[in-house]
Amino acid sequence: MNTFLLLLISSIIILFKLGALGILETSEARYAEIAYEMAMSGDWLTPRIWHITDFQKPPFMYWTTALSYKVFGASEFAARLPAALSAILAILVCYHLGKTLFNKRVGFYAALLLLASPLYLGASKILNLDIFVLLFTALMFLMFLKDRFFLFYVFMGLSILVKGPMTLFYVIPTLLIFLAMNRELSKLKNMQLLRGAFIFLLISLPWFVWESIQFKDKELWKFFVYGQLGSRFLPFIKAFESYKSIIPLPTKPFYYYGLIFIPAFLPSILGIIAGRSFPQKREFLFLLSWILAPLILFSLMPVKQPLYIVTLAIPLALLSAYSLSNLIERIPTSKRMIRFAFLGFFTLVFIGHFFIHRYEHHTKSVKAFLPVLYAHPDTQIILYRIILRAIPFYTNKRPIFIHTQDPVGSRHFDLTFDDPKNYSPYFLLDYHNMDSLMELLKTATKTFIFSGYEWKEVLNAATEKKIPLFICHQTPKYTLMGNFNCLEK
């Protein structure tokens, strides 16, 4: 009964208006477009964006999203559905973790607290890698606790196909710390490590080997080893410098996650504070290790994103659920208060879905521009000093990308492993000044130009050159202009 109820509640909250917002730039748009090109091309092995190879991430998420496109057609809903289903499954796994560690009531409360976590709820609504990582991490730990080690290694292998080996860097320390502090290291013998390593490698390794062979002349294997491992985890070693990811990644200070920790997991933290009780040593150490290992790892990494720590939502929810369960036993009247708190929160979330479309104008999405773009389907699209990866997803067109810094591709695309003929017509590497753009607008037929904060610079230059340029549509993030009266149909 609890499983069905959690499935119903989580499905309603997560799936309702899942496609209401447009695909968000930049990460979600990149993932959605790569999966779209995979579905359209039929090449299910090599990820591509704008027909350019992209090896920044393994293909598991692209496979599931491309399959969703095949079944439901390309849309915002189809793009986000696999991630949303992973989030729903994670709710059920959280329940079973709570039931395994404690009892059914703790598992039920933990699942609701997970669903109420702002960071988790946000991650469940967009296409992202980290919600898949959260699911496979939770499944690994559940199988470990139940001594189902074959499935433990299966899920470990699948986690590598989602985001590379990052998961191992906190799953293995979590388990070793837990076993050592509980004096259970002998359990490692029961895990059949050699057999497990074979299962793990059989699942995780073939794709990397295949792509490395296909691009052996480009030494792709060095990018996988040095670029995706060395430059991320050991950025201070100069030998890895030339293999760093060329996608611009934001670096944050060590204490960054401390700043967002409380708002990201507020309901669970409030539950821990309200209950003020912790489980027995064994269960407590397991959950504490699950929290601290990834938190320390991600804090040490120079590149930080809020969604990286979404995996902490489950152990925090379990700790909070145990604390609240004890509170109810001590003060039975608190049960009604907790029920009202959950009901009030989920009611607000549900009501908020009806107003989400009103914020479309303020998001980093090109969906607001679609009426103008669709009204002029044969118009060329130029991106000036801005990258909007979802343009082909929505228009089925490949835009021309102009940037004032050289090399242009090094800021947004991985051109290392591709043939220049695949991208050179669309990446104007020799356009270093505004005059070049004006010449293109003067000689071109109907042309749209997207710009960010530089739109006034473009408009002023066109005015000086006496080139007609009209503002077609604007949002706080982007401006669409055209060298024709784009407001006329």
Q: Where are the domains of the chain?
A: 2-357, 367-482
The upper half-sphere exposure of residue 426, i.e. CA atoms within 13 Å in the direction of its Cβ, equals 21
Q: CA 471, CA 473: separation in Å to the nearest integer?
A: 6
pTM: 0.91
Residue 194: CB atoms within 10 Å: 7
Confidence (pLDDT) at 239: 46
Confidence (pLDDT) at 229: 64
Q: CA 57, CA 73: separation in Å to the nearest integer?
A: 23
**Per-residue pLDDT tens listing for the chain (489 residues):** 789 999 999 999 999 889 989 999 989 999 999 999 999 999 999 999 888 888 889 999 999 999 999 999 999 999 999 999 999 999 999 999 999 999 999 999 999 999 999 999 999 999 999 999 999 999 999 999 999 999 999 999 999 999 988 899 899 999 999 999 888 898 898 999 999 999 999 999 999 999 989 887 666 777 776 666 655 555 544 444 544 554 556 678 889 999 999 999 999 999 899 888 778 888 999 999 999 999 999 998 888 899 999 999 999 999 999 999 888 888 777 777 777 777 777 777 766 666 665 665 567 899 999 999 999 998 999 888 888 999 999 999 888 887 654 443 444 566 666 666 666 656 664 445 677 778 778 877 889 999 988 899 899 999 998 888 999 999 988 999 999 888 776
Confidence (pLDDT) at 401: 81
DSSP labels for 135-172?
A: HHHHHHHHHHHTT-HHHHHHHHHHHHHHHGGGGHHHHH
Confidence (pLDDT) at 52: 86
Confidence (pLDDT) at 249: 60
Confidence (pLDDT) at 436: 73
DSSP labels for 313-371?
A: HHHHHHHHHHHHHHHHHH-TTHHHHHHHHHHHHHHHHHHHHTTGGGGGGGSSBSGGGHH
Confidence (pLDDT) at 435: 76
Q: CA 316, CA 167: separation in Å to the nearest integer?
A: 18
